[in-house]
Structure 1
Amino acid sequence: MFFAEWKKSHRNHFHSKMVYFSLFIWPVLLFATAYFSVKPFDTSNSSPLAKWMDPKQISFFLITGYIGYVFFWSLVQSAWQMSWERQNGTLELIFLTPVSRVWMMYCRAGANLIEGVWMFTVFSILIVLFLDDVKAPPVENIAFAFIVLCISAVVWGGVLNTIFLFSRDASILFTILEEPMQFFAGVRIPVVVLPLWGKIMAALFPLTYVLQIFRSLLMEGESVIDLFPDLCLLFSMLALLVVISYLLVRKAEKHAKRTGNMVLF
């Protein structure tokens, strides 16, 4: 199912050189905008920013933030493309397939994740290699950080795919999850500097917890054991999202059998 979804996604959405160009230039411009927005200000040890992070690592802070954001946002776009299935008349094939709809949504998310993030990931690795203010983290930290990021992004994408599958128009989520997720999840600024209401908003996004773990592993060199409480919190949230996906699919399928309508909301 995963390879079938990957093949379909590649043929439908990643078949043009211009698509790959946009996959590269869009996140690069986001990163450059954030970087040069901060660069004119005081980033020395006397800067107010020094209270919350090492100002010398601001480039690394931003690049890790945008890696996480691109992983999560690419799956928001993937879910939004579910509306094309409805327009093309291929939505019925998803309901007729003998495999689990929940499993299919997660396979779709994983397949689209690979296609959507590999170019910016390569760019980010090259940027980090040229930074002279970054101490290389242990290899096991790098591997574990990306495993956590990929699993979290796929679970997030699976939930969104499920919502868009059973909705006639959930495009409002495309707007709600763009700038708010980028601002509140700590992509550009540390969550700790936000006011109380901002921290409450940040707690609603799985990306907030992922970036905290991701940066702790790569920037601070903490071990997995040190981050055990944070990992438990993150995986509890991911488990809740999986349960929500399962319950939503069951409810939507019962609704479809009872009414003959594949639109739940």
Structure 2
Amino acid sequence: MPPADVLPPESEVPADDPGPLLTSGTSADVYALDDARVLRRYREGRDATPEVALLQHVTAHGFPAPAVLGASGSDIVMERVHGPTLLQALGAGEVSISDAARVLADLHARLHAIPAPPAWVAPSDRDWPVLTGGPVVVHLGLHPGNVILAEPGPALVDWATARSGTPELDVAVTAVMLAEVAVDAGGDYSQAARALLAAFLHASDVSPLAALDDASAMRAVDPALVPGERELVPDAAGLVRTLLELTAG
């Protein structure tokens, strides 16, 4: 695997016109280079080195994530993973809620079996006030929209928020994300999200209860949330707590 600051010749991309835009996130855009490669380009010059290092680490351990083909500065050229997202498959009725919950729980379990790289340094350009590190790799964004149902099996994408942490925190963040949709009374998917949340908590081998306050605190300051969404976080955490108490009872 080439160093993070070296871009192999076959992975070179135009500086200003990389290709069709596939998707845009809070801090990065993803472009299609060709059928086999995409370019993830951070806006505002964010250094992609920490993300590259974690991606290379988890794929070296056999975890299903896009392979890094090259990187330079704020650019990452990576394998293009084909298939619908788990969210799209759920919406189309192609995957059941129970099966989707098992996919999420299985990806968590597989990821948390990977020890955090000992020399990895978290990026300094994003504030995680309650995240102090931990023994394993965590994604902190493992939700149906970031899972692609590729032909070889589900793959996890968008590693911008990945860190070292604890399994409890990672599972708690996923639970709160699902619960935010569930408590949105005006949302079209609130009932389905509540069912998926309950199924996910049942399928997970890790209880998120001890990390629930930290997870909700992180979500409350997530720059991806707009004010209306941010207001859902306390009720979302309350729903997760209620479902956990019902399960324990």
Structure 1 length normalisation: TM-score? Answer: 0.27
Instruction: Point out which structure has higher relative CO (alpha carbons under 8 A, 6+ apart).
Output: 1
Q: Which structure's CA Rg is the greater one?
A: 1
- Say which structure is richer in helix: 1
Structure 2 length normalisation: TM-score? Answer: 0.28
